[in-house]
Amino acid sequence: GGDLKKSEDYFNKSISLAPAYLATKVLMAEALMTKKQDRATFEKLLKEVLAADEKALPDVVPENTVEKKKATALLAKVEDLF
């Protein structure tokens, strides 16, 4: 269940506060966009993650590197998810 609009608002606020923290975009794509069946935004978010500099936030380089791998894996499953 849950309020998808409210969830999307929270994700967008989080992204605006820390755009270089890639996990938020991956989670938004995986959890919210699949539930909404919004393939275009799903792909857009994950492509932004892949294009991002994982070193932009030095404290989370390992995490951002993992998130890029997750984004690649999710994009590979796009046909199964939508």
Query: Residue 9: what pLDDT?
Result: 95
Beta carbons within 8 Å of 19's beta carbon, 6+ residues apart: none
Mean pLDDT, range 61-77, rounded to an integer: 98
Angle, helices 61-76/39-51, rounded to nearest 10 degrees: 140
Mean pLDDT, range 23-51, rounded to an integer: 97
Q: State whether residue 48 is helix, strand or coil.
A: helix
Answer whether 0.85 is exceeded by the pTM: yes
